[in-house]
Each structure stands twice: as structure tokens, then as C-alpha cells.
Amino acid sequence: MGASQVVTRFAPSPTGFLHIGGARTALFNYLFARHHGGKFLLRIEDTDRARSTEPAIAAILDGLTWLDFNWDGEVVYQFARAARHAEVANQLLAAGHAYRCYATAEELDAMRAAQRAAKLPMRYDGRWRDRADWPADQPFVIRLRAPQTGSVTIDDLVQGPVTVANAELDDMVLLRSDGTPTYMLAVVVDDHDMGVTHVIRGDDHLNNAFRQLALIRALEWPEPAYAHIPLIHGADGAKLSKRHGALGVDAYRDAMGMLPEAVENYLLRLGWGHGDDEIISRAEAVAWFDLSAVGRGPSRFDMKKLESVNGHYMRAADDSRLVALISPRVEAGIGRALGAADHDILQRSMAELKKRAPNLNDLASSSLFYLRTRPIPMDDAAQRLLASTPIALLSQARQQFAGLEDWSAATVEAAARALAEASGVKLGQLAQPLRAAVTGATQSPGLFEVVETLGRDETLGRIDDALATMQRAAHPDAHQADVD
RNA sequence: GGUCCCUUCGUCUAGCGGUCUAGGACGUCGCCCUUUCACGGCGAAAACACGGGUUCGAUUCCCGUAGGGAUCACCA
């Protein structure tokens, strides 16, 4: 079955970080290979020595690892294969499928300027195609002797049959004058040598496919199947390029606090669908993925939907995993390292907290109040609420709670309800001030769950703090005397 | 400009000639649940770009128009 095994590859150029569009291309390659029980290879296209960087390579590998798109075998570095690329170019030259071109950059610029002025398509005019009067000691490039008549049709697995006349294509450069290969040559040679059967890549390469096919035919190599997937656009409909603020996947992980499975699920649904399914597991994705269901038009990136999907996976995530993920953020928030007791509190509060956090950042900040040392900071809304609360009500609650036999969400709630009824107020009129006192905010997880997690001493202490502040506000003079 | 590609609610999509008074999701709005915020539940507004064909019948097929995108390097 070896000959029919599917082999895909993801081939990013390390000139920037792994952006969201690249991540989706990787995902589709990964899923297609896994669906067919084939291989998913990774190749770093670092032939542009000036723009390729080590940090970019690291970021790409890091991003793929984070997303759990595991590639098979060793990473192939394209630049290391330059000798093989040159070998193929020379082989083509010897066979007459390629030729030497001595045109200088200035000559080509002039040629294009003339074409532009005459409103003609800008193509290499083949001025060295049939010449053999090669000047000695002059630099030259090797160009493909491409067919000039007829046409080529690619049965693209996503775009359908696409035909281009050979007359539209010119003789592309295979080997530069410095002996290094161009992208067109390198891709074709590497895909062939790596046994790639399905080339799944961005739509921006569709035009390249025709040139590459001409090269493959000259070499008489097997032709891979092509699938050109539409690009991802920004919310404004413009291309989601680096200069338009496209971010690396690390930004989704770090700055935005997304979960990898959420990013994966969102990316999968962007441009692909399986009936009405929205939440799709990795296993389902592998089982269901097929290229024919990939849409043909570009789709816009919707941050709101990503957050929604992320919220879903946050709620589904394991509590201890979330605690581990937010710990660094929490430590930064409270300005100290977390101890065992802190982890314990986070662990116990996670079930409630994760229901209302769309991302890890919000989850981390929403957990801070549990860990702060008294007196805890109070936000404006909480301060205003306490200022309009009768001191006696809060004071009574404090007394009732202090006298409780057992300390649990249920017992505290029962006491609070009893007090509210006895005082003739709605539960909310008592619960909200208590929430403000205990959490420092007017929004939080269920008050009684919070109180149980915090424990009796901490809860009573925080109420005392609030009471003291309220009394100070009510009797500024008495307080003044204390200070002096 | 040449070539190629695309076009269903604001956004992502379902739909592969009649099942469409076009379904789902996010977002928006309303209601419910409720100690707050979320979660959850219920409901509402919201789309087949336009014009011609083909057909008994077009969201679905074909052709134009418009709009959008990609690409035209000794960059990948």
C-alpha cells in the first residue's frame, strides 16, 4: 500500500512567525494526512538567506507543537538541499529543457518598463531561449524552456478544474546567477524527493502551480494532486497579512490566552463545514475532514466567534490544567509566587470561575480576589454599593455568620436568607453588599461558593474591613482622633 | 492592466433542481432562570449580489454585469 500512501507537507518560509493562515494550512494538511492514514511532513523553506531567521524557525515549530499538529519524520531544511536543486537544474540544462540566460537585471527592467508602457503583459521575452553564443565569464541564470503553446489544466481538489494557456507563462528562473535555486525549483524538487502526493497550500500559490507543473513534466516526474485553500481575511475584508496586524499563533496563546483546541476548532470551521456541527473534536475532525467540503472563497476572521469557541473549551477544560495555565498570570497579578494554599484555592474555585471567562487572561484576573491579602482592593462600583448600605445590616450578617456551627455554602446561605427575611429586605439587598465586602467587586461567582472557598476567618475578616471603612466614612471626626 | 479564482443573514457556514415561507453557529435585541456576572433555556430581527437564459420548476446548471480576492521577481 506504500505507493498509494498519502503524503502531505506544510512548508512555511521562516521570514516571520507562524501566522493564523499558516496554522490553518498546516491543520488541513495534518487532517488530510491523518484521515487517509498517510504522512504529514514539515519543510522549512529557508532559501531566502537574507530574510530567514532562527527565531522564526523556532516560533513555527513552537506554534505547531502548541497546536499539536505533529509532523512525521525529521524537519527538512530546504537550504541544506541546494546542491540537489542545482543538480536537477543542470540535468534539465543537459537535456535541453532549460537554457542559460545572460540578461542583466538592467536589461530585464528595461524590458518590463517597455512592456508596461505598451500595456503588454510583463513576461520574460525569451531573448536567450534559442541562443548559444554564450559570453565567457559572464554570470547567467538557468531558465526553464517552458512550452509556449497549448494549455494546462489542474484538477484542483478545492478550486475544481482550472485552465491556463501556456502562452501566459514565461520561462522562469530555476537557478540564480549565484548558483542558488529559486523557490519554484526547490519546491518541485523537494516535494518530489519527499514523496509528496498532495500539495495543500494557500490560494496565493494557485498561479504557481502551473509553472511548477511545467517543470514537473519536463522532469517526467509524477504529478501531485493540488488543493489551493482560500486565504483568511481580516474583519475588514482585506488580506490578513503581517502588515494588517496578522498575529502569530503565540499571540493567541499568550496575549489573548486562547486554548489550542479552540484555535484549532475555530480554524477548522473557517472555510470548512460538516453539516451543522460547530464543536468538533480532533478525532471527529480526522474522521470527517475532506478537501471537497472546503469553501472556495476567502473567509473573514471573526475574533468574537473565536472567543466564543474558546469559552466553550475553557468550560470543558480540566480544572487543574487551567490552574497551571493561569498560574504565571495570577502571580503577575498579585505580585508574589503562589504557594500550596493558593493553588488549593484556585483549584477549588476553578469550576465556578471557568464558567464566566472567555480566555485565560480574564480567568486569571477573575481569580485574583481569592488570593489577595486583606484589606483587599475595592472597585468603584463596590465602594458605591457599600456606601449606600446600612451598617447595621452588614454588621448583623457578620454576627450571624460568626455564630454558625458549620461553615459551608449551604449554611451561610441559610443564615443570609433568614437574616434578609427578618430584616424585611430581599436577599439581593444583603448579598450584593456582602459580595462587595468579600470580593471587592459587584460581579463574581456565586457568593456562597466564594465564601465557602475563602473560609470563615477570611470571610469575617473581609467583612470587618468593609465595616471599618463604612464606619470611618460615617464618622470622619472620630476617625480623625484615632489618627492623631 | 493581463491571467486566474470567488460571491447564501453583519461574520462563519448548511444547502449539491422541487424537502426553502432558506437551516445552524457567533454577534445583536427581548424574555426566562437567578444573590451579581456568567452559564443555561426560550424567542426575535437578519441572506440566496444583479440581469439574462436552460428547465414543468432554480439558492442550486449555463452566460453576462457588478463587486471582492489572488498573481504577474535572479521573494517565498
**Strand B–CB A121 distance below 7 A:** yes
- pLDDT at res. A289: 94
- Report the nucleotide nearest the CA of residue A141, measured to C1': B74
Whether residue A136 has pLDDT greater than 60:
yes
pLDDT classification of A40: cutoffs 50, 70, 90: very high
A157 CA to centre of own chain: 25
Residues 387-426 of A with CB under 7 A from strand B: 413, 426
Whether residue A483 has pLDDT greater than 60:
no
Residue A239 CA to nucleotide B4 C1', Å?
A: 18
**Strand B–CB A243 distance below 7 A:** no
Which secondary-structure segment (H or E) carries A100?
strand A98-101
- CA–CA dist A289, A264 (Å, integer): 13
Residue A295 CA to nucleotide B58 C1', Å?
A: 22
Whether residue A41 has pLDDT greater than 70:
yes
pLDDT by residue (tens digit) across A104-125? 988 998 898 888 888 888 889 8
Whether residue A375 has pLDDT greater than 70:
yes
- pLDDT at res. A133: 87
For residues A241 and A434, the model is more confident at A434
Report the candidate in A207, A209, A214, A211 with the shortest Cα–Cα distance to residue A226.
A209
Cell of A153: 489544466
For the residues A269-278, what does the mean pLDDT come to? 92
Whether residue A427 has pLDDT greater than 60:
yes
pLDDT by residue (tens digit) across A317-331? 999 999 999 999 999
pLDDT classification of A241: cutoffs 50, 70, 90: low
- CA–CA dist A206, A21 (Å, integer): 16
Whether residue A231 has pLDDT greater than 70:
yes
pLDDT classification of A240: cutoffs 50, 70, 90: low
When mean pLDDT is compared across A135-149, A279-293, A382-396, A465-479, the lowest value belongs to: A465-479
- Report the nucleotide nearest the CA of residue A366, measured to C1': B37
Q: What is the 3-state secondary structure (H, E, C) of A450-463?
A: HHHHHCHHHHHHHH
User: Would you call A119 a catalytic residue per the annotation?
Assistant: no
Whether residue A251 has pLDDT greater than 80:
yes
**Strand B–CB A63 distance below 7 A:** no
pLDDT classification of A252: cutoffs 50, 70, 90: very high
- pLDDT at res. A334: 93
pLDDT by residue (tens digit) across A155-195? 999 998 899 999 889 999 999 999 999 999 999 999 999 99
Strand B bases near protein CB (under 7 Å) are 1-8, 10-15, 23-27, 35-40, 68-76
Supply the angle between the helices A360-371 and A319-334 in degrees, to the nearest 10. Answer: 70
The rounded percent of chain A whose pLDDT value lies above 70 is: 96
pLDDT classification of A70: cutoffs 50, 70, 90: very high
- CA–CA dist A303, A358 (Å, integer): 11
For the residues A269-292, what does the mean pLDDT come to? 94
**Strand B–CB A271 distance below 7 A:** yes
**Strand B–CB A367 distance below 7 A:** no
- Report the nucleotide nearest the CA of residue A305, measured to C1': B26
- pLDDT at res. A481: 45
**Strand B–CB A208 distance below 7 A:** yes
Residues 179-198 of A with CB under 7 A from strand B: 180, 182-184, 186
For the residues A373-379, what does the mean pLDDT come to? 93
**Strand B–CB A374 distance below 7 A:** no
pLDDT classification of A4: cutoffs 50, 70, 90: confident
- pLDDT at res. A243: 43
Are A27 and A56 in contact by the 8 Å Cβ rule? The answer is no
E strands, A167-312, are 173-175, 198-202, 225-229, 232-233, 299-300
pLDDT classification of A244: cutoffs 50, 70, 90: very low
Whether residue A453 has pLDDT greater than 80:
yes
- pLDDT at res. A132: 85
For the residues A248-273, what does the mean pLDDT come to? 94
For the residues A366-383, what does the mean pLDDT come to? 94
